Structure 1
Amino acid sequence: MRIISLAVDGIQQATEKGLFEWLASQDATLICLQDLRTSAYKLEECQDYVLDGYFSYFLDAPDATKNGVAIYTREMPKAIMYGFGASNGEDMEGRYLQADFERISICSLLAPEAIAGTSSQETKDRFFRDLLGHLTKISHKRRDYFFCGNWNIAHREADVSEPAACEALSGFLPHERQTLGQLYNAIGYADAFRLFNSDRDEFTFWPSGEIGKGCGWRTDLQLISNNLRHSVEYAVTYKAKSFSSHLPVIIDYDIESL
């Protein structure tokens, strides 16, 4: 089973760069996209965003010019969950879309962006406090989870190209890195990419907007339940062509059915 995740910086511009032709060639079982920057209505009505052989689900933002996430799946889900019940009812500028199948659930997730020391950082921190509580709660359920998306946090020094220059920036603050540490160490989720690839230069996001230019971050993650950690067969970031300031994360799992 192949899962692809990508933050697209606006689905229209990514489509113009050939995103959907590329996705159609990848034989993925599940595709999670983030930062769509358009309304769910437009996505559902426009044939440019249709993938043959896939069911598609979208969650937009009150301001449709930002945020927004999608899930494309070859198999019809049993249920779709829009948001995870954050404290203010809107997931505080982040987005969470979950598709439930017989044995597994997959989530397309977009965490809020922030500037350290501002109210936006407080909003981002509240989002992660609520998300951490949600992920802790569901970790006790008898099903496995994939959380795919742009977390807007890099966990370790190996996950940024210039650690010293990033240590005071939102996304690499000590308490943010600790959040991912709690997910991995205390709750038991795993970073699927790192189970296969430990290289230090595997970045997925460049704030400069150009792949390979300036500081690189690895903020695009596929987190999986502990039971799935031995199912990772292959993990790579796709570098041959760029569709946004992020690279697609492609991971193959030894799972036969959803």
Structure 2
Amino acid sequence: MRVITFNTQGIEQATDRGFFDWMVRQDADVVCLQNLRAKEYQLDDERYHPKGYHAFFFDAFEDGYSGVAIYTRELPKAIMTGLGFELCDFHGRFIQADFDKVSVASMSIPPGLKSPEDQVRKEEYMELFMGHLKKTLRKRRDFIFAGTFHIAHKPVDLSNWYANQSVSGFLPQERKWMEEVLDDMGFVDAFRRANKAERQYSWWPDYNRAWSLNEGARLDYQITTANLRNNVKAARIYRDEQFSQHAPVIIDYNIG
């Protein structure tokens, strides 16, 4: 199973830049998109519905804000939207497709860079999402949570990390949260399971200088339940084209 996650920063913009043309060449089984900035009714055009894929959307309540989607080759057994709390559901931040052996979610944690108030909301969201992760551990199935976490886990995941220790995305409490998810709770950072290389970033603060110098952060993840630890085959970040300030994260799993 090949799973791709990508923060579009506007699905119309990413489509104009060739994202779907690229996507159909990747032979992906599941593609998780975030930050659509469009509602489902605005995406009827065939260019948003590549042949061979079923498309499912979860809109944000406000126009032009957030929203997630999941594209699947196999028709899922079920689709779940939302997590039951306003910070998620009002902004369209979670959709999950259930298959026979695994559930795959397209999700995002809100950023906290713009203001102290945004950081407070981000940390509230993290606490609530942690509660959902704990619930999944009691279920008899495996999960892949794919999307933008807006946290760089370790220094290797952020350029110039030393100067950014007081910046949202690399704050001590955010990294501690990631450690609890990945160490205490046993979830797996699938990308790092297969790819140990340095300077593997999925977001850059601008299209030109930072991208060309590869000065960025790894903010986009696929987090799996522990049973999938040995099923991760390969992982890479696609940087040959720029569809947004984020790059697609591609991970192959040994899941039938």
**TM-score, length of structure 2 as denominator length:** 0.95
The Cα shift of 1:178 comes to 0.9
The Cα shift of 1:173 comes to 0.5
Aligned counterpart, 1:77? 76
Verify the 8 A CA contact 2:4 2:250 in the aligned structure 1: yes
Q: What amino acid is aligned across from residue 16 of structure 2 in structure 1? A: E
Secondary structure of 2:166's counterpart equals coil
Could you tell me how far apart the structure 2 residues matched to 1:239 and 1:209 are?
11
Q: Any runs of at least 4 consecutive aligned residues in structure 1 with deviations exceeding 6 A, and if so which?
A: none
Aligned counterpart, 2:15? 15
Unaligned runs of 5+ in 1: none
Verify the 8 A CA contact 2:60 2:89 in the aligned structure 1: no
Verify the 8 A CA contact 1:208 1:214 in the aligned structure 2: no
Task: Specify whether residues 212 and 91 from structure 1 end up closer, same or farther in structure 2 by C-alpha distance, changes over 3 A only.
Answer: farther
Could you tell me how far apart the structure 2 residues matched to 1:58 and 1:120 are?
25
Written as runs of structure 1 = structure 2, the 5 A alignment for 1:161-240 is: 161-210=159-208, 211-213=211-213, 215-240=215-240
Aligned counterpart, 2:57? 58
Verify the 8 A CA contact 2:142 2:224 in the aligned structure 1: yes
Aligned counterpart, 1:122? 120
Residues 184-223 of structure 1 show CA distances to partners (whole Å, capped at 9, x for unaligned) of 1111110000001111210010122442457400001011
Task: Specify whether residues 214 and 240 from structure 1 end up closer, same or farther in structure 2 by C-alpha distance, changes over 3 A only.
Answer: closer
Task: Specify whether residues 212 and 83 from structure 1 end up closer, same or farther in structure 2 by C-alpha distance, changes over 3 A only.
Answer: farther
Aligned counterpart, 1:154? 152
Verify the 8 A CA contact 1:206 1:214 in the aligned structure 2: yes
The Cα shift of 1:11 comes to 0.7
- 2:122 aligned with 1:105, yes or no? no
The Cα shift of 1:71 comes to 0.3
Q: What amino acid is aligned across from residue 244 of structure 1 in structure 2? A: S
Could you tell me how far apart the structure 2 residues matched to 1:208 and 1:166 are?
17
Task: Specify whether residues 206 and 164 from structure 1 end up closer, same or farther in structure 2 by C-alpha distance, changes over 3 A only.
Answer: same
Q: What amino acid is aligned across from residue 94 of structure 2 in structure 1? A: Y
The Cα shift of 1:58 comes to 0.7
The Cα shift of 1:64 comes to 2.6
Q: What amino acid is aligned across from residue 69 of structure 2 in structure 1? A: A
Q: What amino acid is aligned across from residue 194 of structure 1 in structure 2? A: R
Could you tell me how far apart the structure 2 residues matched to 1:241 and 1:116 are?
27
Aligned counterpart, 1:49? 48
Secondary structure of 2:167's counterpart equals coil
**TM-score, length of structure 1 as denominator length:** 0.94
The Cα shift of 1:144 comes to 0.3
Task: Specify whether residues 3 and 160 from structure 1 end up closer, same or farther in structure 2 by C-alpha distance, changes over 3 A only.
Answer: same
Q: Tell me the percent identity.
A: 41
Number of residue pairs matched? 254
Verify the 8 A CA contact 1:105 1:143 in the aligned structure 2: yes
Q: RMSD over aligned Cα, in angstroms?
A: 1.6
Could you tell me how far apart the structure 1 residues matched to 2:58 and 2:205 are?
24
Greater mean alpha carbon deviation, residues 75-84 or residues 139-148: 75-84
Verify the 8 A CA contact 2:80 2:97 in the aligned structure 1: yes
Could you tell me how far apart the structure 2 residues matched to 1:94 and 1:180 are?
22
Secondary structure of 1:32's counterpart equals strand
The Cα shift of 1:240 comes to 1.3
Secondary structure of 1:180's counterpart equals helix
Verify the 8 A CA contact 2:97 2:105 in the aligned structure 1: yes
Unaligned runs of 5+ in 2: none
Task: Specify whether residues 152 and 92 from structure 1 end up closer, same or farther in structure 2 by C-alpha distance, changes over 3 A only.
Answer: farther
Could you tell me how far apart the structure 1 residues matched to 2:100 and 2:196 are?
32
Q: What amino acid is aligned across from residue 31 of structure 1 in structure 2? A: V
Residues 131-188 of structure 1 show CA distances to partners (whole Å, capped at 9, x for unaligned) of 0011011112110000001111111000001112211111111111111111111111
Greater mean alpha carbon deviation, residues 139-148 or residues 116-125: 116-125
Residues 110-147 of structure 1 show CA distances to partners (whole Å, capped at 9, x for unaligned) of 11111376111111111110000110111121100000
